[in-house]
Amino acid sequence: MARKLNMRIWRGDSVDGALQDVQVEANEGEVVLDVIHRVQATQMGDLAVRWNCKAGKCGSCSMEINGKPRLACMTQVASYGEEETITVTPLRAFPVIKDLVTDVSFNYKKAMEIPAYAPPSDLKPGEARMQQVDVERSQEFRKCIECFLCQDTCHVIRDHEENKKSFAGPRFFIRIAELDMHPLDTLRNRKQTAQEEHGLGMCNITKCCTEVCPEHIRITDNAIIPMKERVVDVKYDPVRWLGSKIRKREGIV
Amino acid sequence: MSGVFSPSRAKIAVRTLRTDRWWLQPAITVAVLVSFIIYATIRAFEAKFYFAEPLISPFYSPCLTSACPTNGSLLGQPFGTIAIFGMVISPALFILIFPLGFRMTCYYYRKAYYRSFWQSPPACAVAEPHKTYTGETRAPLILQNGHRWFFFAGLIFNVLLSIDAVLAFRNAEGQWGHMSIGTLVLLTNATLLWLYSASCHTCRHTIGGRLKHFSQHPLRYKLWTWVSVLNHKHPTFAWISLFGVALTDVYVRAVSSGSISNLYFF
């Protein structure tokens, strides 16, 4: 059954902007992205919104709905009360371009700073063989759709613009963890660089990244904390350090 | 102007647009932890009513100074009397350092108190009040990387408290083969502490998480999968084991002070 929905949509650009009230029809089963499209079609023809798959798989329609980072295409209108006003804003951790569209290029720059997968040099195409138990940890992190909601909610950069130069963010900590746990990756200093170059030590594990992940990746428990423990192995644990010197190995086999 | 109020970000005047009661969880966390700290401090300085044969409070075990009753520990009283400026120091003050360190550096409690006490951040997508932030990269917070040492110390305490629970299968005269409500209380406390330790992230890492090839270590992989299951419940174990310690102390104090008698089943 259709109903009238009260919305507040942020309109503006990098110079100025404000929340604008709008009333729009919402039908049963619709998601927030549906009603934003209806607003765009009927009342705000120049409303900028980024979207693509409408299936929670492309990560394009990331925005903040009633203050929470969410995918608009996966947020049911019915999950809000009949009388509740739905407030929609762009991601607040990134520079705004127009209306609900932000500049997320920060994330692509950070992605380029992560050293790529480094298989053994003598491994020829088609020769890679791995046990399932050895790759399943990394496979969880491959579910990431790069919606950057975790990056948006992370207070290290959301609340401190100056940290952006030295902090990669949770999306890239799962990338580092994925590679460090990969059975065929040979790069030995991922743990050190995670701490020294990508800012793993800045994370204070408050788990907001995990809370907002639409793919339900356990970012903190399965990637960030294991990486923090691996960093302790190589940087802050004298017993493990000594063991690695005596046994002539990194300590991780 | 930094953070969500930076010039390039969307111009929104408020620190959050969340409409739910995001402040409730940090408020409850502060209330519970402050209550526990006050209670533990009072009990640590009280230095009495912690032993009622065969029960001993977890705040005072192992009781190794001459301030303890002679039958209060299997390990005797190797530390003698410890006093500063003539004041005898409560044995609890030395003991509590280790469980306190374990919980202070625990990955779950860090989340809890960073959010609730330090407001960094108070809740997800709620702007924090601090102008600068360096996380756990500098002293003193870089010491959080020592969590594993407190984890190992915590295991020793778990063993000692488990022995206390076994010793509680005696009666007040020291005869074996008896069981009381106090026995159940000490057993429950030790079990909860083992669950808290076994579900710890450092335990998960030590037991198998640091491995790159699980396939070469099938036993450690199996143990890792079990610990991973427990790890999902780590926050729950963190809270109920904290309550467990406090309630065990409450019970032992009540018995020791004569407020109640320790009911024996057999």
Residues 6+ apart with CB under 8 A from A170: A150, A151, A154, A203, A209, A219, A220, A223, A224
Same domain, residue pair A76 and A196: no
Please give chain B's pLDDT, 266 residues, in tens.
689 999 999 999 999 999 999 999 999 999 999 999 999 999 999 989 999 999 999 999 988 877 777 777 777 777 777 777 777 788 888 889 999 999 999 999 999 999 999 999 999 999 999 999 999 999 999 999 999 999 999 999 999 999 999 999 999 898 999 999 999 999 999 999 999 999 999 999 999 999 999 999 999 999 999 999 999 999 999 999 999 999 999 999 999 999 999 999 99
Distance CA A174, CA A221 (A): 11
Contact A66 B4 (CB under 8 A): no
Same domain, residue pair A167 and A231: yes
Distance CA A34, CA A165 (A): 36
Same domain, residue pair A129 and A144: yes
Structural domain boundaries of chain B? Answer: 17-256
Q: Which of B2, B17, B126 shows the shortest C-beta gap to A89?
A: B17
Structural domain ending residue among the three candidates A51, A70, A102: A102
On the question of pLDDT at A252 being above 60, the answer is no
Same domain, residue pair A234 and A121: yes
Stated as kind and residue range, the H or E segment containing A96 is strand A96-98
Contact A158 B111 (CB under 8 A): no
Same domain, residue pair A198 and A221: yes
By CB atoms closer than 10 A (0-12, 13-18, 19+), residue B179 is middle
Instruction: Provide the number of CB pairs (under 8 Å) joining chain A to chain B.
Output: 168
Same domain, residue pair A73 and A153: no
Structural domain ending residue among the three candidates A70, A102, A134: A102
Task: Give which of B120, B141, B152 is closest to A228, Cα–Cα.
Answer: B141
On the question of pLDDT at A251 being above 50, the answer is no
For B10, which residue in chain A has the nearest alpha carbon?
A: A96
**Which chain A residues have a beta carbon less than 8 Å from that of B201?**
221, 225-226, 229
The pLDDT of residue B203 is 98
Mutate to test the interface with B, among A209, A229, A230 (most CBs of B within 10 A): A229
Contact B3 A134 (CB under 8 A): no
Same domain, residue pair A166 and A95: no
For B135, which residue in chain A has the nearest alpha carbon?
A: A202
Same domain, residue pair A91 and A121: no
Contact B120 A226 (CB under 8 A): no
The CA-CA-CA angle for residues A233, A234, A239, to 5°, reads: 60
Distance CA B98, CA B179 (A): 29
In chain A, what percentage of residues exceed pLDDT 70? 97
Alpha-carbon gap: A100 to the closest alpha carbon of chain B (Å): 9
The pLDDT of residue B1 is 63
The pLDDT of residue A245 is 78
Upper half-sphere CA count for residue B147 (Cβ side, 13 Å): 29
Contact A69 B125 (CB under 8 A): yes
Indicate whether A252 belongs to any domain.
no
Average pLDDT over residues A229-236: 94
Task: Give which of B58, B43, B72, B52 is closest to B262, Cα–Cα.
Answer: B52
Beta strands A96-98 and A101-102, pairing class: antiparallel
Tally of structural domains, chain A: 2
Structural domain ending residue among the three candidates A102, A136, A171: A102
Domain harbouring A49, CATH code: 3.10.20.30
Q: Which of A152, A160, A208 shows the shortest C-beta gap to B2?
A: A160
Residues 6+ apart with CB under 8 A from A114: A168, A172, A175, A176, A179, A198
Contact A92 B111 (CB under 8 A): no
Indicate whether A238 belongs to any domain.
yes
Domain harbouring A199, CATH code: 1.10.1060.10
Indicate whether A52 belongs to any domain.
yes
In the numeric block, which tokens belong to residue B174?
A: 């020291």
Contact between B246 and B43 under an 8 Å Cβ cutoff? The reply is: no
Alpha-carbon gap: B196 to the closest alpha carbon of chain A (Å): 15
**Which chain B residues have a beta carbon less than 8 Å from that of A14?**
7-8
Residue A164 belongs to domain spanning: 105-247
Distance CA B246, CA B51 (A): 15
Same domain, residue pair A76 and A169: no
Same domain, residue pair A52 and A136: no
Same domain, residue pair A119 and A225: yes
In the numeric block, which tokens belong to residue B127?
A: 């702007």
Distance CA A24, CA A10 (A): 15
Tell me the C-alpha to C-alpha distance, in Å, between residue A47 and each of A2, A13, A41, A44, A75.
Answer: 23, 11, 9, 5, 19
Indicate whether A113 belongs to any domain.
yes
For B18, which residue in chain A has the nearest alpha carbon?
A: A67
Distance CA B240, CA B246 (A): 10
Same domain, residue pair A127 and A71: no
Q: Which of B16, B212, B231 shows the shortest C-beta gap to A67?
A: B16
* pLDDT tens column, A58-94: 999 999 999 999 999 999 999 999 899 999 999 999 9
Indicate whether A8 belongs to any domain.
yes
Q: What are phi and psi of B180, to 5 degrees?
A: -130, 180
What confidence tier does A248 reach under pLDDT thresholds 50, 70, 90? low
Contact A253 B16 (CB under 8 A): no
Indicate whether A124 belongs to any domain.
yes
For A17, which residue in chain B has the nearest alpha carbon?
A: B11
For residue A165, how many other CB atoms are within 10 A of its CB?
10
Task: Give which of B190, B247, B258, B246 is closest to B49, Cα–Cα.
Answer: B258
Q: What are phi and psi of A19, to 5 degrees?
A: -80, 135
On the question of pLDDT at A250 being above 70, the answer is no
The CA-CA-CA angle for residues A56, A60, A66, to 5°, reads: 80
Upper half-sphere CA count for residue B65 (Cβ side, 13 Å): 14
On the question of pLDDT at A224 being above 70, the answer is yes
3-state secondary structure of A68: strand
